[in-house]
A and B are shown apart, each in its own frame.
Chain A
Amino acid sequence: MKHIKIINKPNLKKSAQTGGCGECQASCQSACKTSCTVANQKCEK
């Protein structure tokens, strides 16, 4: 494409089918912890 560069492909909907196993770390977002944007959490799958 000339006018658009894809940085990230659609992946969220697929995860609705495959995800939800719950093995990943909890992700506190507050300032007092290893506060984290959830979207950066590692998926364990």
Chain B
Amino acid sequence: MIHKFYLNSFYIITDINSGSVFSVDPCAYQIVDYIKTPMTEACPSDIIGALKDNYTVEEIKETYDELYSLYCNDSLFSEDSYELLAGRLGPGPIKSMCLNVAHDCNMSCGYCFASQGNFGQDRSLMSVETGIAAIDFLMKHSGKRRNLEVDFFGGEPLMNIEVVKKIVSYARSIEDANNKCFRFTITTNGLLLNDEIAGFINDEMSNVVLSIDGRKEVNDALRTRVDGRGSHDSILPKFQNLVSKRDDKEYYARGTYTKYNLDFSEDVLHLFHHGFDQISIEPAITDGTMDYSLTPSDLPRIFEEYEKLAKIIIDIKKRGEQINFFHFMLDLEQGPCVFKRLRGCSCGNEYVAVTPDGDVYPCHQFVGNDDWIMGNVIQGKLNSEIKEKFSKATVFDKECCNDCWAKFYCSGGCNANNYTYNGSILSPHHFSCEIEKKRLECAIMMKVALAE
């Protein structure tokens, strides 16, 4: 399977099964439409016939020969040999855990998937005992995996920062003896950040996600405090302060776009101009019924905006400045192996979320729906049936993914969105698919542009 697209004056062909990417001229771009496999060594006469009005016969033959040589070394029209692997994928050890340390929040963002922090449950904070039980549970189910990730999430995790510190110190105290290496991350809305907490985060967290939507008016329209006031002016300097002391450690200034800011490249630039060079702005996925909801009719505008943003980022990079937009980051060479690509996030299998009560869910987005409780860290229980089900949710098992050119880049999308909006973890959420594919095309195009 190949996928070809024309973007920013580049003609691009990707070969799905081999992972190859080519920048081609218009002649090659057209010829591939006529190629049937297995390819023959000599250029078929129907190809010459179809294109001879546009190119010389010599040109067509020469281009065909180049394509044929790529075909011969399995770089083009490469056969799918992966389906067998999918059958070999089963439940694996748990290596990542989202700890919902606070089912409570000091903000009241309009688009919050966690229903203003409490996930539709009682407002509550995780106790140290539950946190420690969660770390023990993770260790116990992690098998031989050495690298273990723990993400402090909420609600707003800084509302329970003392417990976060105790959990971190407990995990650190047992990692060496057990030959494990914990990587902590945290996501925060920033309101409670101060120098002391920022210092702790910079010391202990390998990544920190700083939630801010961009321009003041955009941020303050939906990222509101409980009393309705905006948050931009309070959080921006706190985030700048944290990032300025973070050295080379990872962080993301992470925002959300909605129908209110379809010009979200401006928000990326706002963050960039305020000193952030690691930026992520992502669509709010909803059921489409809110004023701010993105709907399929917004897609052309969204695509246009991604293209604009891609060009802006190319310009910035060509000037020698540093900027990373999360969804345009693509590692073509050293990216993950195909096993990883078949299953994506691995929620419910290698990744789970834990609530303040110690209940285990497949991931943070399933929290609050009792049907998906798959265990409890205090009781030490884990439902292997649910785990098995998620371990088998590969791109080969999902409707439409197998025929989708993006399958090894996207890995089947978000199971939680699939379930919430299409009723099954195996039914991709088409709106998200369209956005994902556009971002991938932009990301691949940027590789081509920056290789110029």
Q: Do chains A and B interact in one complex?
A: yes
B298 CB, min distance to chain A CBs, angstroms? 15
B44-52, B141-149, B314-322: which lies at the interface: B141-149
**How long is the Cα–Cα vector from A22 to B95 in the complex, in angstroms?**
9
Q: Given the known inter-chain contacts A25-B149, A44-B147, please indicate yes or no for A7 contacting B332, CB distance below 8 A.
A: yes
B13-21, B161-169, B225-233: which lies at the interface: B13-21
Which residues of the other chain, B, contact A43 by a CB distance below 8 angstroms?
334-337, 340
B377 at the interface (CB under 8 A from A): no
A6 is contacted by which of B20, B95, B341, B413 (Cβ under 8 Å)?
B20
B336 and A39 contacting across the interface, CB-CB below 8 Å: yes
A5 and B23 contacting across the interface, CB-CB below 8 Å: yes
A9 CB, min distance to chain B CBs, angstroms? 6
**Nearest chain A residue, comparing its CB with the CB of B187:** A33
B81 at the interface (CB under 8 A from A): yes
Interface residues on A, range: 35 or more
**Nearest chain B residue, comparing its CB with the CB of A28:** B345
What number of A-B contacts does a CB cutoff of 8 Å give?
A: 212
**How long is the Cα–Cα vector from A44 to B146 in the complex, in angstroms?**
11
A34 is contacted by which of B254, B285, B409 (Cβ under 8 Å)?
B254
B339 at the interface (CB under 8 A from A): yes
B341 and A38 contacting across the interface, CB-CB below 8 Å: yes
B113 is contacted by which of A9, A29, A32 (Cβ under 8 Å)?
A32
Residues 101-128 of chain B, each 1 if its beta carbon lies under 8 Å from chain A, else 0: 0000000000001100000000000000
**How long is the Cα–Cα vector from A32 to B153 in the complex, in angstroms?**
10
B263 at the interface (CB under 8 A from A): no
Show 24 residue pairs from A and B whose CB-CB distance is below 8 angstroms, ordered by the A residue. Answer: A2-B66, A3-B24, A3-B28, A4-B22, A4-B24, A5-B23, A7-B448, A11-B18, A11-B19, A11-B333, A13-B18, A15-B336, A16-B339, A28-B347, A29-B344, A30-B285, A32-B187, A33-B187, A34-B280, A35-B282, A35-B326, A39-B408, A42-B336, A43-B335
